[in-house]
Amino acid sequence: MGFSTIAIHAGNDPDPTTGAVSVPIYQTSTYAQDGLGRHKGYEYARTQNPTRAALETNIAALEGARFGFAFASGMSAIDAVLKLVTAGEHVILGDNTYGGTFRLFSRVLADYGVQFDLSDTSDTASLEQAFRPNTKMVFVETPTNPVMTVTDLAAVSDIAHARGARVVCDNTFMSPYFQRPIEHGVDIVVHSTTKYLNGHSDSVGGFVALNDEADAERIGFIQNSVGAILSPFDSFLVLRGTKTLAVRMEAHDRNGRVVANFLAEHPRIEKVYYPGLASHPQHELAKRQQTGFGGMVSFETGSLDNAKKVLENVKLCILGESLGGVESLISHPASMTHASVPAEKRAALGITDGLVRISVGIEDVEDIIADLDQALS
């Protein structure tokens, strides 16, 4: 079956009680049991909820995974996956990730004895150097937030598997519509469903998709034991969102390409980060690994002052954190999403004070261009 058919139908069976075509919001904390140890498969809503179960079936199918788990946020999904690693074990973390992911490693997991090193996972030679005898996991984002570096998932998976380590990919920027990491050998996919999967900037959530049965059992156990579950209402919203994922991603991609090209030709812009541009260092890899380039574009304005002028003069684009909604959002990574990354690390990655990131929405693209044009001038 095609992607859109799966998006619309997987997990979305008509409600067995009423025939409701949309999976209802089962807003309940518990379920009546027929007798001691006799129930309909639902005991307590932290453990099982039919709305959440429908979403878990849906996104797992979109990622080509056997198992899926929905969490209260992208960060709680990532945290659950990192609980597969124990004190004294080592993780290789891509050197450019969402700032909150770096913060989880450096300010939370490190205190629990999880060791980690940063590595440019787009450079396989330097990745190989980062392995230690106790390395159990490689965690990558591709393309990265916000400088859009692309990592070769098949190459990283081969290297990691030869050394007995799992590969985790944060697929938030591409969504399963443009990139299915499991098909490239990745073991575990994580998402902030807050972004493209939900797509309407009205829910915070996270997801873990994977094939390995033992790891899936452990993630399910962690989901129930820690309790950072996605609520029934948020599950409903994301389930509604994924039905239109294909049409939204096509529109984000179309608009993203136009905006990236406009910025690349603009005399006031020094550099544009977008894997769809032929000038992007991993353009060929992105073409092979992804089926589109999406709507995330970052650009260098040269100074904090210039960035401020753009960010404070846009009228249609909304200044704010987050991405992946239908509306265009514009942000300043250095002071917003990546403020928790030390300044010298930011500088080395290109997350300068002049860098601006835009999540290109699905408005009429002429209006987005006109807005950026007037803000830049």
- The residue (of 103 and 161) whose beta carbon lies closer to ligand P1T is 103
Does the protein bind ligand P1T through residue 371 (CB under 6 A)? no
Q: Which of 168, 337, 349, 372 is the binder for ligand P1T (CB under 6 A)? A: 337
Q: Which of 51, 57, 119, 145 is the binder for ligand P1T (CB under 6 A)? A: 145
Does the protein bind ligand P1T through residue 57 (CB under 6 A)? no
Q: Which of 49, 194, 242, 298 is the binder for ligand P1T (CB under 6 A)? A: 194
CA geometry: angle 66, 198, 332, nearest 5 deg: 120
3-state secondary structure the chain: CCHHHHHHHCCCCCCCCCCCCCCCCCCCCECCCCECCECCCCCECCCCCHHHHHHHHHHHHHCCCCEEEEECCHHHHHHHHHCCCCCCCEEEEECCCCHHHHHHHHHHHHHHCCEEEEECCCCHHHHHHHCCCCEEEEEEECCCCCCCCCCCHHHHHHHHHHCCCEEEEECCCCHHHHCCHHHHCCCEEEEECCCCCCCCCCCCCEEEEECCHHHHHHHHHHHHHHCCECCHHHHHHHHHHHCCHHHHHHHHHHHHHHHHHHHHHCCCCCEEECCCCCCCCCHHHHHHHCCCCCCEEEEECCCHHHHHHHHHHCCCCEECCCCCCCCCEEECCCCCCCCCCCHHHHHHHCCCCCEEEEECCCCCHHHHHHHHHHHHC
The CA distance from 97 to 114, in Å, is 18
Minimum CB–partner distance for residue 90 and ligand P1T (Å): 21
> Exactly one of 79, 170, 253, 353 is catalytic; which is it?
170
- The residue (of 75 and 356) whose beta carbon lies closer to ligand P1T is 75
Does the protein bind ligand P1T through residue 75 (CB under 6 A)? yes
> Exactly one of 31, 42, 46, 158 is catalytic; which is it?
46
Residues 315-334 binding ligand P1T (CB under 6 A) are: 321-323
Q: Which of 58, 73, 157, 298 is the binder for ligand P1T (CB under 6 A)? A: 73
Residues 201-220 binding ligand P1T (CB under 6 A) are: 204, 206
170 is catalytic: yes
Does the protein bind ligand P1T through residue 95 (CB under 6 A)? no
195 is catalytic: yes
Q: Which of 26, 98, 131, 273 is the binder for ligand P1T (CB under 6 A)? A: 98
40 is catalytic: no
Does the protein bind ligand P1T through residue 140 (CB under 6 A)? no
Minimum CB–partner distance for residue 105 and ligand P1T (Å): 13
- The residue (of 13 and 321) whose beta carbon lies closer to ligand P1T is 321
Question: Taking contact as CB under 6 A, which single stretch among the options 39-47, 72-80, 106-114, 290-298 is the one that binds ligand P1T?
Answer: 72-80
Minimum CB–partner distance for residue 337 and ligand P1T (Å): 4
Per-residue contact flags (x/-) with ligand P1T for residues 235 to 274, judged by CB under 6 A: ----------------------------------------
- The residue (of 131 and 274) whose beta carbon lies closer to ligand P1T is 274
> Exactly one of 52, 95, 98, 273 is catalytic; which is it?
98
Question: Residues with Cβ < 8 Å from 159, sequence gap 6 or more?
Answer: 124, 127, 128, 131, 138
345 is catalytic: no
Active site (catalytic) residues: 46, 98, 170, 195
Interacting residues with ligand P1T (CB under 6 A): 73-75, 98, 100-101, 141, 145, 170, 172, 192, 194, 204, 206, 321-323, 337
